[in-house]
Homo-oligomer: A and B are copies of this chain.
Amino acid sequence: MQALNPTPSGNPATASEATALAAAAPGWSFSERPPSLFRRFEFASYAQTRTFLDRLAELQESSGVTAQNINFGRTYVNVTLSATGAALSPAEYALAAELGRLATA
């Protein structure tokens, strides 16, 4: 599993890398312009939403990757991760994969 420690190399993932990495981040939708990953997480309670948001904040700190936008209400969190360079880097895909694991844990 892609460990969450690749510092944001900023080097864009190559096409084959992107395909491999996208496989590691199921449930996310990818868009080209700008290159970004989007996913909606839904929760049974506000407390679960809060727990996810707090972990997401910690993961952003530890990974150095900051979501381009986070949009949440009582029981949902929409996360958009955008490329800082020309393309998404392994660090964004790793954060996406980690958030996916977090939400299903």
A74 nearest in chain B by CB position: B66
- Assembly stoichiometry (copies): 2
| A70 in contact with B72 given A50-B57, A57-B50 (CB within 8 Å) | yes
Residue with the highest number of chain B CB atoms closer than 10 Å, among A46, A67, A70: A70
> A68 on the interface (CB 8 Å rule)?
yes
Q: Which residues of A contact B (CB under 8 A)?
A: 46, 50, 53, 57, 66-74
| A69 in contact with B68 given A50-B57, A57-B50 (CB within 8 Å) | no
Q: Which residues of B contact A70 (CB under 8 A)?
A: 71-73
CA–CA, A66 to B70, complex, Å? 16
CA–CA, A66 to B73, complex, Å? 8
